[in-house]
Chains A and B, each alone.
Chain A
Amino acid sequence: DAKTTQPPSMDCAEGRAANLPCNHSTISGNEYVYWYRQIHSQGPQYIIHGLKNNETNEMASLIITEDRKSSTLILPHATLRDTAVYYCIVRDHTGANSKLTFGKGITLSVRP
């Protein structure tokens, strides 16, 4: 059961902000939104996660709508090294449902 919906791909110019959307209209109150990325054949890399408030770290910002039904991952100044598959994951923190379940993700291509 897909809990998140992401467009299959998008691109952006190097140096510009990359805004990656994610829909999670069935998210429940105790589920967090996580973002991971996978650069070609490497292990997935944790980016950021949040519950309801917007979050920012050294890699990205996460904007979650007030109704929590969608979110946007923002890479403020995309570089060629940000070309990767980005996974938006909704994760329950309770018991056996706490494992990370990956969907197809969105392929971000950063062009020079």
Chain B
Amino acid sequence: DSGVTQTPKHLITATGQRVTLRCSPRSGDLSVYWYQQSLDQGLQFLIQYYNGEERAKGNILERFSAQQFPDLHSELNLSSLELGDSALYFCASSVEWFGTGPYGYTFGSGTRLTVV
């Protein structure tokens, strides 16, 4: 157990639907990161939040959005789902200060999303 909790572990949904993935960071970590891993794209950075504020954005689609709540948990919302959105979605956290530092990320075990 890495200390980063992701729910649900598996999700099967139909095209056009909307889903929400949840992540609870490791205790004491202020930063949350979302990554997408599909077979052909590898691990792709989507977005980072630090203490409730968006810090960095990767190749996140406009159909996707995220937020970090006051208790530091984060949600990734995926809407108008397409077959190509099927992937593993990982959340990671770190204690990283706003100014960054040499800290590693701790990853959760991921949510496997299947769009049918």
Contact = CB atoms under 8 A, between A and B. Distances in A.
A41 B108 CA distance: 11
Interface residues of B, number: 26
A104 B42 contact: yes
Contact of A99 (B48, B104, B110): B48
Contacts, number: 56
B102 A32 contact: yes
Main SS class of interface, A: loop
Interface in A78-95: 87, 93-95
Given A93-B101, A93-B102, A100-B105, A44 B43 contact: yes
Q: When A and B form their complex, which 5 residue pairs have the shortest distance between CB atoms, in order from nearest?
A: A43-B107, A46-B104, A102-B43, A98-B100, A96-B56
A43 to B, nearest CB: 3
A68 interface: no
Given A44-B43, A102-B43, A49 B88 contact: no
Contacts of B112: 41
B104 A49 contact: yes
Contacts of B106: 46
A26 interface: no
Interface of B: 2, 4, 33, 35, 42-43, 45, 48, 55-56, 58, 88, 90, 92, 96, 100-102, 104-110, 112
Given A43-B92, A44-B43, A46-B106, 14 more contacts: A38-B43, A41-B110, A43-B4, A43-B108, A44-B90, A44-B107, A45-B107, A49-B104, A95-B100, A96-B55, A99-B33, A99-B56, A99-B58, A100-B45
